[in-house]
Amino acid sequence: MSEEVTVFIDFEFSMPEGRGHKGFFPEIIEVGLLAVHRGKQEQFSSYVRPRVFKRLTRRCKNFLNISQQQVDKGIPLHMLVEKLKQYNDAGHCKVVTWGNMDMKVLKHNCQVAKLPFPFSGEFVDLSMEYKRFFGDRNQTGLWKAVQEYGKDGTGRHHKALDDAMTTYHIYQLVEKDKKYLNRSESTTIGDRVDFSALREFLAQ
| Catalytic residue IDs | 12, 158
Q: Tell me the CA distances in angstroms from 201 to 32, 45, 47, 98, 190, one per residue in order.
A: 61, 64, 69, 53, 17
- E strands, the chain, are 4-13, 28-37, 40-47, 92-97, 122-125
Would you say 49 and 75 are in contact if contact means Cβ atoms under 8 Å apart? Answer: yes
Neighbour count for residue 59 (Cβ, 10 Å)? 13
Q: How far apart are CA 199 and CA 137, in angstroms?
A: 47
- Per DSSP, the three-state class of 92 is strand
